[in-house]
Structure 1
């Protein structure tokens, strides 16, 4: 299982994403809010949201699909404060 090394909070509306949790396409239609909870004013982070078996596990014709990429996110801020390399495209 995945174990994070920094605090990361991802929410779609009022629903918090958890490791191993599943969300329906209708629940992820809008860009999530992402908060990186590290108190280091010099740190910058990169967020990459991929789907490893798009469009579905039973028919992974696209294989890995990039849905969103944001770089230079300052610690303790939301991903919206970073530089958008790929704008959010819902699954």
Structure 2
């Protein structure tokens, strides 16, 4: 019996240590990649776990191709099943990091998510993956989770994927302040650069060739 108790105590200690390491990592990576204080005043409280295609987990700061990121990912964080959340994905480097005149480009926005069940949330902007221009270099992509005070009435109109104006110059800080959501409870950041999928996505969304 004592061995079983010790085993569970040891496992609990390991989990707490990993959780603390993840929390330290999110603060570090947000500072290293100049998210704080340039885009966010404070880093997310915990590292958001992101899985694409149910095959690979996003490593914070790593670079992936638009082809790898084309489908909506699965997200995991320490959610309260009785609370509601907002998920937002932005690119602060549109059209490129040196001249981010469209900061930030909105790639995904879902509100009123009960616990972890994003499919039961209210989509304001459906997911579409990175589409960095061919000569734009590497762009950052940020996914954030905010905890809401309750299920809220959002007065934002649904943004169609083909409406570029609705996606450009999205101010995530103002949005969070408007609905009194405070600091994001979870977040992660990765990078992407042009590949052959970008022209296909541009044609699908906007009917234009890159």
- Indicate whether the TM-score tops 0.5: yes
8 Å CA contact 1:35, 1:78 repeated in 2: no
Partners of 2:126 and 2:110 in 1: how far apart? 8
- Note closer, same or farther for the CA distance 1:11–1:62 as it changes in structure 2 (3 Å cut): same
- Distance apart, 1:55 and its partner CA: 3.6
| Secondary structure, aligned partner of 2:67 | helix
Paired residues in the alignment total 89
Matched, 1:49 2:89: yes
Structure 2: which 5+ residue stretches go unaligned?
A: 1-27, 31-42, 131-210
The structure whose residues are more often helix, as a share, is 2
- Which of 73, 77, 82 is 1:36 aligned to? 77
Q: Identify the residue that residue 57 of structure 2 maps to in structure 1.
A: 16
- Which of 119, 138, 154 is 1:80 aligned to? 119
The structure whose residues are more often strand, as a share, is 1
Superposed CA deviations along residues 28-58 of structure 1, whole A, max 9, x for unmatched, are 11111122332x2321111110001024435
Which structure has the bigger radius of gyration? Answer: 2
TM-score normalized by structure 2?
Answer: 0.37
Over the aligned positions, Cα root-mean-square deviation in angstroms equals: 2.1
Superposed CA deviations along residues 1-31 of structure 1, whole A, max 9, x for unmatched, are 3354246321111111122122111111111
- Note closer, same or farther for the CA distance 1:6–1:31 as it changes in structure 2 (3 Å cut): same
8 Å CA contact 1:33, 1:78 repeated in 2: no
